[in-house]
A and B are shown apart, each in its own frame.
Chain A
Amino acid sequence: DSGVTQTPKHLITATGQRVTLRCSPRSGDLSVYWYQQSLDQGLQFLIQYYNGEERAKGNILERFSAQQFPDLHSELNLSSLELGDSALYFCASSFGGFSGNTIYFGEGSWLTVV
């Protein structure tokens, strides 16, 4: 158990809908990262927050957004869903920023868009 908690574990929704994925980082960790894992794209970095502020942005679509709340949990919002958004979405956390910190991953949220 990495200490990173993600909910829901599985989600099935229709195209055009909106979903929210939730992540609670390990106790004491200030950074939260979101990654998308799909069969054809591998593991893609989406976005990182550090202590409530956006720190880095990767290949995140405009239909997607995220935020980190004062209690450090994070939410990833996916809207106008398309079939191609079906993937495993990972949240990860670390104490500080990127350099020198081990990043721990949650078990992921499986999203299926039908």
Chain B
Amino acid sequence: GDSVTQMEGPVTLSEEAFLTINCTYTATGYPSLFWYVQYPGEGLQLLLKATKADDKGSNKGFEATYRKETTSFHLEKGSVQVSDSAVYFCALLPPSGNTPLVFGKGTRLSVIA
């Protein structure tokens, strides 16, 4: 079935460091891909999305490119801030229309000053 694999955390970075959180997927056809973020004590927020191959989603300095050839959707940010500390979830929405969002297990990011 459809699945998402994220790099295991926690990830600890210093402020202004470069961030990459790896995400790969297995799906039939061409799913839509998403990154959601969960700040401490809060709910899930949509961070960015891409709906077709080679699309780049971006928001708040974060970027991810839909790579069909490597079935990946890695999240990147050039310079992280303490306020980026959160749990990041990669998710896919299958094109079939018969199943809901499939989430990865989440990656916890801690940014230290």
Contacts and interface: CB of A to CB of B under 8 A. Distances in A.
B103 A105 contact: no
Interface residues of A, number: 23
Interface residues of B, number: 23
Tell me what chain B mostly uses at the interface: helix, strand, loop, or mixed: loop
A100 B42 CA distance: 26
B94 A98 contact: yes
Interface stretch (A11-19, A40-48, A64-72, A76-84): A40-48
Given A2-B43, A43-B106, A45-B101, 5 more contacts: A92-B44, A98-B93, A98-B94, A98-B97, A99-B96
Interface of B: 32, 34, 36, 42-46, 49, 51, 89, 93-101, 103, 105-106
Interface of A: 2, 6, 33, 42-43, 45, 48, 56, 58, 90, 92, 97-108
What 7 pairs across the A-B complex have the smallest Cβ distances?
A107-B43, A99-B97, A105-B44, A43-B103, A108-B43, A42-B105, A45-B100
